[in-house]
Amino acid sequence: MGEIDRRISYPLLWNRLLAIVEEQAQVLMRTAFSTVVREAGDLSAGVFDTRGRMLAQAVTGTPGHVNSMAEAVVHFLDAYPLRTLVPGDVLVTNDPWLATGHLNDFTVVTPVFREGVCVAVFASTSHIADVGGRGFGADAREVYEEGLRLPIMHLFRAGEVDQTLMQIVRANVRDPVTAEGDLYSLAACNYAGAQALLALYDDFPGLDLDDVGGYIIDTSKDAMLAEIDSLPRGSWRYAMTIDGYDAPLALCCRLSVTEAGIVLDFDGSAAASAYGINVPMAYTTAYASFAVRCIVGSDVPNNAGSLSVIEVRAPQGSVLNALPPCAVSARHSVGQMLPDVVLGCLDQVLPDRVPAEGASCIWNPVFLGDGFVINPIYNGGTGARADSDGLNTTAFPSGVRTTSTEVNELTSPLVIWRRELREGSGGEGRYRGGLGQVVEVGHRHGGVFEVSKMFDRVHHPARGRQGGGDGAAGSVHLKSGQPLLGKGRETVPAGDVLVLHTPGGGGLGDPEQRPAEAQASDRLGGYTPG
């Protein structure tokens, strides 16, 4: 294409690609069997060039899935070069070190052929409710205990499902219908993306997606470098202590701004844990780079170009670069805390633009009992923002929505007896931290059930910035009074009720500077006592 043609055609092509990947994600949500995908959007979807570089991602999805999937497709193409694939082939893996960090996430990759030539690759990821083993939780000591681990392999061969693979999956999970259905759902959403892309080729004769993709990637990289060029050069450090499993963990970061980009080095962070809260490097990279993108170049498209100028390092054998066979099932309980650490560095680079620390890690208990497994999502508050209060019960950085009470009660014998904002849980400040929530869960028939917990901010609450107060710490207990741990699997006895208090976000600025009308609104809304 000539320069004039590019100016006209490339914006149209870019917008079509965005529409295609969003349609891909919506197909995944509409067809998924797992509630956490269908209701909460725990997924990712994107289109890649034939070199495995992500060109565009769907808005629907989580940073942990999207940004780790961005690195995963290269592993697929290394294992199965495009010349070895044929139309109708679909590949799959849930290997934590090749995809998104734990066994519950399955990534599916589909090459797209036109006139016998591969022109693009679609990829998608979703969280499957159960993959066998101990179940989703933090208690395992090795990845082998955590469930079924599939290497990169064929899900479909020339359009025919690999029945041997499906038999293995069905034989190793507690809910085979859901697991099988979710795999078909992933393949279906990639197929929908592929068909929409082929229609794009019909609308733009002579289209070369690799050429367009190169332009998208180069332009995004240049735009991101321009944003970074406006920052001061230097290095800044920040550290944060989180709960861990059985002992506190230190997360340390040094952020360096150079001419080549931004480097995030987590040297000094805690060693790998003996339990399932370890983070594979791809997931560390995903959330650390996301934090940068929130503040620096947030308007630049998120793709291989813009991500390429952010380098993430963590020592091998640390909790942020855990190696096989470390247990990693609850890697989100550590990985989702990383944006707060990176933002702590950026606050020193760009003061007055960075929020306070928030609840960060989603509170996603797994409830198990006779014949049911559900994984609802409950969120705490975000930190106060530079010019406004924090958001109540909002998942940042994951973006995963709360699953509805009605769906959770419909798919299990549990009852959500109470769910309301947690008064006074946001840190005080010129801008108040977001509120957590109170949730009470019991068995409809007074029976016993179990809960697998992967919570943080129980012992180390979100800290305020610039004189703002800390958010309230979370807590877990039985209504009968017995306290429970923030992590690990425990039993809720017959007739008792589980009570969750999710954490609040930190405040920002001097509380004495909070306007009187905002204080009155807080009291009127029940956000603060009084």
The answer to whether 304 and 55 have CB atoms below 8 angstroms apart is: yes
Tell me the CA distances in angstroms from 106 to 47, 130, 371, 408, 426, one per residue in order. Answer: 17, 11, 23, 23, 36
Going edge to edge, which strands form the sheet with 475-478? Answer: 414-421, 437-443, 497-501, 475-478
Task: Show pLDDT as tens, one digit a residue, over the chain (530 residues).
Answer: 445 466 668 889 999 999 999 999 999 999 999 989 998 899 999 999 999 999 999 999 999 999 999 999 999 999 999 999 999 999 999 999 999 999 999 999 999 999 999 999 999 999 998 999 998 999 999 999 999 999 999 999 999 999 999 999 999 999 999 999 999 999 999 999 999 999 999 999 889 999 999 999 999 999 999 999 999 999 999 999 999 999 999 999 999 999 999 999 999 999 999 999 999 999 999 999 999 999 999 999 999 999 999 999 999 999 999 999 999 999 999 999 999 999 999 999 999 899 999 999 999 999 999 888 899 999 999 999 999 999 999 999 999 988 899 999 999 999 999 999 999 999 999 999 999 999 999 999 999 999 999 999 999 999 999 999 999 999 999 999 999 999 999 999 999 999 999 999 999 999 999 999 999 998 888 887 65
Rounded to 5 degrees, what are φ and ψ at 156? Answer: -125, 145
| Residue 256, SS3 per DSSP | strand
| Residue 431, SS3 per DSSP | strand
Helix (H), strand (E) at residue 63: helix 63-79
SS (H, E, C) 267-320: CCCCECCCCCCCCCHHHHHHHHHHHHHHHCCCCCCCCHHHHCCEEEECCCCECC
DSSP state of 30: H
Output the six-digit token pair for 186. 């992933």
Distance CA 150, CA 399 (A): 27
Going edge to edge, which strands form the sheet with 310-313? Answer: 234-242, 249-258, 261-265, 310-313
Helix (H), strand (E) at residue 235: strand 234-242
Distance CA 251, CA 240 (A): 5
Distance CA 435, CA 430 (A): 15
Rounded to 5 degrees, what are φ and ψ at 13? Answer: -65, -40
Q: What is the pTM of this model?
A: 0.95
